[in-house]
Amino acid sequence: MNKLHNIIWAVEDGIREVKYAYQRVVNGYDERILWDIAEYLNRVLIPVLKKFRENKYGYPNGLTQKAWDKELDIMIKGFEASQRIKDLNPGTRDSYRNDMKIAEKGLSLFAKRYMNLWD
């Protein structure tokens, strides 16, 4: 019975993967990201922001290169803190509160500088 159950599960899983692949082709994403958009954005934006910081060629008007680097670091740390919270792994209550503050600061700055995230 276990082998049959495993085979059935594998077939069902394969069907779901085909469905998700089709959704990605048609929509550019699959329905799984709708289950937790924040987790998806954390997973995508952390490495993208790190690469952006590493490869950038300029900075917004009114800032220096050093200030822009600092702001990008705050955004990255904000998304990393958000991911720790989403992973339900912030540690103690104090670290959870600290992660919330870091996430709020980073995400707020991300919103403020959203239109400056181009190179």
Task: List helix spans (H) across the chain.
Answer: 2-27, 37-55, 65-86, 93-112
- For residue 94, the model assigns a pLDDT of 83
pLDDT(43) > 90: yes
The structure's pTM equals 0.81
Q: Which of 53, 54, 55, 87 is nearest to 72 (CA)?
A: 53
88 φψ region: left (φ > 0), alpha (ψ -120 to 50), beta (else): left
- Between CA 68 and CA 62 the distance in angstroms is 10
pLDDT(98) > 80: yes
- For residue 119, the model assigns a pLDDT of 82
